[in-house]
Chain A
């Protein structure tokens, strides 16, 4: 279905506007994207219409985002920034003025992970001092990932997040998806789909409850996610059974 027709009368020309408006169904959009790779004419159509579509949001009535939304976003951002800075400390930067005991423990932890030591070294409880509840950090086992890749599962209270660094971008057309596995049953799909930034970092909220969960896993899946894993996990964090 991917035609490489460059003639001015390409049959797919009527798709451009619907594509720019994101009004194509998922599969149609995928196949049109493939078509665009080979059809300069349609590419030109899309790029001439896209700015018009991009201008549409300015026409909506302006309403104010709540302070709660801003705080919620920034709370997550700050905690991830702190963790990623700490996790990256040993790897790409000399010691900074971070509390020394903490970065040393995290380093020990991440070194253990980078060396692929065991499946897990048990959970490490990091006392975050006066900064609220203690967090439990579980290093993850890594599949085929670049040397230096790190992944830890961090639980604070009832909430968990997977923090990764040095992880390669998902293959083209793929995205990383998080799965929850319970003993004796197939991994359960989550809607946590993610990519990584150019340093290979990401921090992903683990949706739902970890009750009864044995492993938190990550696989590369087609954009949009899958209902069953279609590839070998690249990250597996096995939770201590307690």
Chain B
């Protein structure tokens, strides 16, 4: 079948009405305008994650650019049964950021440097989606804060720091088994907390 997307109205306003999953089908047909809508929806979330992990704007932008282009080029590998487009984009971004952290010996300069303190916080939008998202963010933060500090520590070092469990064990002077145990306990506790508040489905 050839390019059924041709029959679809691809004007920006129509595209913006489509769900991510439908836009991804157009992206598979190399429709740049559809990709732009997907990108606009998620680029801030992806950049926020990369920036939180890497702490430097230029490197974080490189990571997000790579992630977005790999989404564009490999859009077909998006499998809707495995979660939302947003999670998928954030997953690629996370993956790329971990690669970048492990590849470059950035570890010493990992914290947000003074140069970047002018970073603009995202302007609050009053859309329904944004309100839901902020509630969700609050729930996740609350669930994280409710964990014992030792569990938060290993989860953050792993997920945001890109460190492996053996690196974390060495860093904290703990047996690897203890580190893995804390990861599991922490995530399980968060899960039960989040599932009662239904932030995680």
Contacts and interface: CB of A to CB of B under 8 A. Distances in A.
Contacts of A100: none
Interface of B: 2-3, 28-32, 35-36, 39-40, 43-49, 51-52, 57, 61, 64-65, 68-70, 72-77, 83, 87, 90-91, 94-95, 98, 119-123, 133, 136-137, 140-141, 144, 155, 158-160, 162-166, 168, 177, 179-181, 183-184, 186-188, 190-191, 194, 199-201
A18 interface: yes
B76 A81 contact: no
A23 B168 CA distance: 9
A156 to B, nearest CB: 17
A17 interface: yes
B187 A49 contact: yes
A23 B121 CA distance: 29
A59 B191 contact: no
B108 to A, nearest CB: 20
Nearest to B95: A22
20 contacts: A17-B187, A18-B183, A22-B94, A22-B98, A23-B158, A24-B164, A56-B144, A57-B48, A57-B90, A58-B137, A59-B137, A60-B52, A63-B48, A69-B64, A73-B72, A80-B73, A92-B2, A92-B3, A194-B74, A198-B76
Nearest first, the 9 closest Cβ-Cβ pairs linking A and B are: A198-B76, A65-B47, A23-B158, A17-B184, A62-B122, A81-B32, A17-B183, A60-B52, A197-B76
Interface in A20-55: 20-25, 48-49, 51-55
Nearest to B72: A77
B49 to A, nearest CB: 4
Given A69-B65, A74-B39, A14 B177 contact: yes
B180 A69 contact: no
A201 interface: yes
The winner among B44, B94, B141, B164 for most chain A CB atoms within 10 A is: B164
Contacts of A85: 30
B187 A201 contact: no
Interface residues of A, number: 57
Interface of A: 14-18, 20-25, 48-49, 51-66, 68-70, 72-74, 76-78, 80-82, 84-85, 88, 92-94, 194-199, 201-204
A64 B57 CA distance: 11
B36 A17 contact: no
A37 B87 CA distance: 23
B172 to A, nearest CB: 13
A contact patch SS? helix
B73 A195 contact: yes
Contacts of A93: 2-3
A54 B90 contact: yes
Contact of A58 (B32, B121, B136): B136
B135 to A, nearest CB: 10
A154 B187 CA distance: 47
A22 B159 contact: yes
A54 B91 contact: yes
Nearest to A195: B74
Contacts of B141: 59
B90 to A, nearest CB: 5
A65 B94 CA distance: 16
Contacts of B70: 194
Given A23-B163, A23-B164, A63 B65 contact: no
B136 to A, nearest CB: 5
Nearest to A58: B137
A73 B69 contact: yes
Contacts of B183: 17-18, 21, 23
A63 B90 contact: no
A16 B165 contact: no
A72 B65 contact: yes
A196 B69 contact: no
